[in-house]
Amino acid sequence: MTENSLKRDPLREALILVFLAALIAVLRLIFRLPLKMPGHNMLPIMFLMCLGKALTSRAWSGCVMGSVAGLLSLSFGGGLKALNIFINSSLVGLALDGLFLIYDPLKHNRYLILIIWGGLAALPHNLTGWFRDILTGIDIWVVLTMNVPKMLSGLLFAAVGAALSGQLIKILKRQYPLATDIKNADP
């Protein structure tokens, strides 16, 4: 590959982020199925967000993907939970970006840290529900007993999604140079 083909293209990266955000919104609709497994929707969300971070390597790409996915979920008919979906998606992307600012596991090929970051980035998704329940007057112990199992399974599914994206990123790095591999990536 020539040096010009390895430079970052902002339009290409924006299209990748919007496409992955649209996939997140569509998969959120698909995973509304009553599977009796709380937190199962975090698997495709974290998979696609980690993949987007690897393909673009922009500083706030997770927040952009989360916000666009939230807006698309609103337009697809979020119902009464529309604002909650937007806030949850944006906060998950913001948490992933914050963790990547601390340490970027994709630049250093540390996929175990990517799995940990994926699990930790799922925390805001659950904490917004906790705050909503507490503000509506539900007793704190009831909130804890209802939401701790949901939170733990959500963290587990998010970690599995990050692990799957790490495997795909390894395969892609063998074939193509990703945005995290390009030296002097900033224009």
**pLDDT, position 74:** 82
* Cβ-Cβ contacts under 8 Å for 63 (sequence gap 6 or more): 90, 93, 94, 97
Establish if 180 belongs to a structural domain: no
User: Which helix H or strand E contains 24, and what residues bound it?
Assistant: helix 10-30
Establish if 92 belongs to a structural domain: yes
| Residue bearing the bigger pLDDT, 22 or 187 | 22
| Residue bearing the bigger pLDDT, 30 or 79 | 30
**pLDDT, position 164:** 92
Establish if 168 belongs to a structural domain: yes
User: What is the tally of structural domains in the chain?
Assistant: 1
**DSSP state, residue 110:** -
Ramachandran angles phi, psi of 94, nearest 5°: -65, -40
pTM here is 0.83
Establish if 185 belongs to a structural domain: no
Q: Is 47 exposed, middle or buried (0-12, 13-18, 19+ CB in 10 A)?
A: buried
Reduce the secondary structure of 129-182 to three states and give it as a string.
Answer: HHHHHHHCCCCHHHHHHHHHHHHHHHHHHHHHHHHHHHHHHHHHHHHCCCCCCC
Establish if 73 belongs to a structural domain: yes
Establish if 50 belongs to a structural domain: yes
Residue 22, domain extent:
4-175
Which tens digit of pLDDT belongs to each residue from 90-140? 898 899 999 988 988 888 788 889 889 888 988 888 888 888 888 888 888
**Residue 159: which pLDDT band, with cuts at 50, 70 and 90?**
very high
Which tens digit of pLDDT belongs to each residue from 7-63? 567 888 889 899 999 998 888 877 776 777 787 888 888 999 989 988 887 788 888
Establish if 186 belongs to a structural domain: no
- Distance between CA atoms of residues 13 and 182, nearest Å: 14
Establish if 21 belongs to a structural domain: yes
| Residue bearing the bigger pLDDT, 178 or 124 | 124
Domain at 147, CATH number: 1.10.1760
